[in-house]
Structure 1
Amino acid sequence: MKIWIDFINTPQVSFWVPFIRAFQMDNHELLLTCRDSGNTLELLKLNGLEYQLIGKKVGKGFFQKLLFFPKRIYLLYSFIIKHKPDVAASQSSFYQPIVARILGIPCLYTNDNEHARGNLFGFYFASKVILPLPLSNEGFVKKWPLKSKVSFYPSVKEAIYLSQDPDLIQLIPGKKTTIYFRPEPWSAQYYSGPLNFFDQTILKIATKHKVIILPRDPNQRAHYKQEKFNQVSVAVKPLKLKDILSNCLLFIGAGGSMTRELAVLGIPAISIYQAETLCVDRYLVDKGRMKINPTISYAEINKELDDRKDSEINTAILDEGKKSFHKIKDLIFDLK
């Protein structure tokens, strides 16, 4: 079977890698397409995956995105019609379900951000939709056409792919020395909050602790490479989760999957996301795995560090992730 997966942003690479490895072991053919966004290309290369780049970088502006959307639809259509995949699957690619519907390719769509406007395309055009269980009480899942095609998987998407790497568990205990910071998603369609709002706090933290910035793209990397940030380190390329996990004292993230990854693995994690809280984040807060404080101060962070306990191994969420992995894999096979 030929399986087509489309990547349009960085977190989707981590999500699909264990599925891709499983498909390859079962001798299925993979057709991978991607858009140049964030660290997507770097992560695809880091994982040794062959892909077809379709669509260059696009700015955050509404009209830029509006003009780019039909262009990439056309480019995807022109490429996919020649390669004839049997099924399609994506984690929040808003383009793939449209092209798949046009070409009669059964398509599975999933997303964990209930505020993403592009969900309208995924929900309408995909053959099947699967969402994290924390979204099951949202009103939109009970409306047509979604209610006839949606199912739910336990826990959060990060638990799915993390559950497929048992070596990570061994890295949770031990002495940690570094604070990691993941800035806000500057160019994301769903983000409308302030930019660079945490810079001064990070500089204060760096006077007492080792701080590593994990930029989302080259523009963000250039910002934190300015002379005024000489007290912090800036990752020049995406770091492997294992490298972060091995010495992460505290993770501060302005939204996104990376904050949830560390939270799922039991590392102290604080979300400072400056927009409406996602259901999946509230789920992790309820489980005691994450704190949300968009206005956290330097003094409050110091208190968090003073009160910090050693990271504990708790595999409950990862066990749910294993179940979700097999559920999604079976759904993809069932499409055909």
Structure 2
Amino acid sequence: MKIILDVATPKHAIFAAYLEPIYRRKGFDVEILARESTQTLKMLRYFKLDYKVIGYYGGMDLTEKYIATLDNEINLLKHILEFGEPDILWSHGNVAGIRTAFHMGIPVIHVNDTPYNIPVAKLTVPLSTKLVTPAAWSISDWSRFGIDPGDIIRYYGIEEVAWIRRMDVDREKIRSRYLDRDERIIVFRMIEYKASYSLNVKPPIYKVLEKLSRYAKIIYIPRYEEELKLASKIPNTIILRDVVFAPELIAASDINLNSGGTMAREGALLGVPTISYYFYNKITRFLIKHRLPIWYIPDIDKIIRKTIKILRDPDKYRIDSKEILNKFDDPLEVIIDTTLDILKQ
């Protein structure tokens, strides 16, 4: 049996790192195909994964995105014709991969937790053989895009449980590797402002960072080169130029400040005080319901006040989240079981 893991973002690369060995143990020939993106390829190399680049990123312009999708579909088609069809394709919502697989009659296991990314959902969800998603999202959140409700596989938990549960979290060891033990640390990342669901959204967060840099060292994890000019003007800030496995840094930090996406969820699962300044959706509410330390604060002044309050005594807000993590389903097990079920049909 052969499976293609269709990797388009750093998060997909993390998924691939954990799925690849499990699929191999199940007897699959695993091929990782990647989209040209500096951080994505660096993340694949970080995990020492073999991959082949067959696509590229279209940027922020809608026309460029569409041209890139068409080019990527042709590249994937040529690759499959040359090296043979897989039995199934795994994707996390990459339009080119899912559309190409559908046209060629290749089953698609689609893993996704962003029904609010409406442009991508419209182009991919109806073409998926099975959709695997957190139960925080209802059947109707996805079926409105045209997928049969019976093809939606929901599990109790969130995607990031897949790797957070498998981390060996030794905070002091991690902190000594990256940071001064006595410093207060804020880990920050900007919203994914080139994605379809947040195109050109750039909150005035740099004002917040300038203020907070008086109280803590800021570890800034940039998405794109264009952020570096502004970020370099923020005092008491380390800008990470190389890709790191962010949960390790988050585990060693005192506060995790970002838009509320993957890193916010990772921080909450790790028990690290986390502030989301943009997203407040069903996943965020799911984490809050389970008393994980995440707050949604869109107001700049309130972010500053809350962060300073936490920095006075971070351990008061940090929790041991192991028992909560153990209540959740393992997304990797659900994905593997769903893959095997598809191939039995």
- Tell me if both proteins adopt one fold, taking TM over 0.5 as the criterion: yes
Residue identity matched to 1:286: K
Unpaired runs of 5+ residues, structure 2, are 176-180
> Pairwise mapping of residues 137-148 of structure 1 onto structure 2 (< 5 A)?
138-141=140-143, 144-148=146-150
RMSD: 2.4
Give the drift of 1:305. 2.5
Where 1:12 maps in the other structure, the secondary structure is: helix
The answer to whether structure 1 residue 291 and structure 2 residue 295 are counterparts is yes
> What amino acid maps onto 1:100 in structure 2?
A
Partner of residue 34, structure 2: 34
Q: Name the CA shift for 1:73/1:278 in 2 (closer, same or farther; >3 Å).
A: farther
1:198-209 equivalences in 2 (<5 Å): 198-209=205-216
Q: Kindly provide the amino acid, as one letter, of the partner of residue 148 in structure 2.
A: L
For 1:140 and 1:328, the matched residues in 2 are separated by 17
Distance 1:140 1:82, change over 3 A: same
Matches within 5 A, 1:1-336: 1-37=1-37, 39-83=39-83, 84-116=85-117, 117-136=119-138, 138-141=140-143, 144-165=146-167, 167-168=168-169, 170-171=170-171, 177-192=184-199, 194-195=201-202, 197-225=204-232, 228-241=233-246, 243-273=248-278, 277-289=280-292, 290-297=294-301, 298-306=304-312, 308=314, 309=316, 311-336=318-343
Counterparts in 2 of 1:3 and 1:74: CA distance versus 1, 3 Å: same
| Inter-partner Cα distance in structure 2 for 1:148 and 1:76 | 29
CA distance change for structure 1 residues 240 and 91 in 2, over 3 Å: closer, same or farther? same
Change (3 A) 1:193 1:65: closer
Code of the aligned partner of 1:288: R
- 1:208 positional shift: 2.0
Deviations 1:143-169 (A, max 9, x none): 74331311101111011222233x13x
- Please say which of residues 100-109 and 134-143 is displaced more in the overlay: 134-143
Per mean C-alpha deviation after superposition, the further-off stretch among 173-182 and 76-85 is 173-182
Query: d(CA) in 2 for partners of 1:50 and 1:190?
Result: 30
The amino acid that maps onto 2:41 is L
1:134 to partner: Cα distance: 0.4
Q: CA deviation at 1:311?
A: 2.4
Larger RCO, structures 1/2 (Cα 8 Å, 6+ apart):
1
Instruction: Supply the distance in 2 between the matched residues of 1:18 and 1:300 (Cα, whole angstroms).
Output: 35
Residue equivalent to 2:178: none
Contact 1:285/1:292, CA 8 A, preserved across alignment = no
For the residues of structure 1 that align with 2:141 and 2:235, how far apart are their CA atoms?
47
Distance 1:88 1:253, change over 3 A: same
The answer for unaligned runs of 5 or more in structure 1 is none
Q: Which moved more, 1:35-44 or 1:179-188?
A: 35-44
Instruction: Label 1:320 to 1:106 Cα distance change in 2 as closer, same or farther (>3 A).
Output: farther
Deviation of 1:302 (Å): 0.9
Secondary structure class of the residue paired with 1:239: coil
Runs (4 or more) in structure 1 with deviation over 6 Å come to: 172-176
Name which of structure 1's ranges 176-185 and 308-317 shifts more when overlaid on structure 2.
Answer: 308-317
Distance 1:40 1:156, change over 3 A: same
Q: Deviations over 1:147-196 (max 9, x none)?
A: 1311101111011222233x13x438997731111112121111046425
Q: What is the letter of the counterpart of residue 219 of structure 1?
A: E
The TM-score, its normalising length taken from structure 1, stands at 0.89
Is the contact made by 1:97 and 1:125 (CA closer than 8 Å) also made in structure 2?
A: yes
The aligned amino acid for 1:205 is L
* Offset, 1:65: 1.1
1:177-230 residue CA offsets vs partner (Å, 9 max, x unmatched): 3111111212111104642511011011112211110111333245423xx224
Change (3 A) 1:145 1:322: closer
1:244-297 residue CA offsets vs partner (Å, 9 max, x unmatched): 144210000123201110111111101112xx6332122112222211112142
Segment of structure 1 superposing worse, 113-122 or 234-243: 234-243
Write the distance in 1 (CA, Å) between the matches of 2:237 and 2:305.
19
Cα distance in 2 for partners of 1:238, 1:137 equals 35
Measure the CA separation in 2 of the matches of 1:187 and 1:161: 25
Change (3 A) 1:199 1:243: same
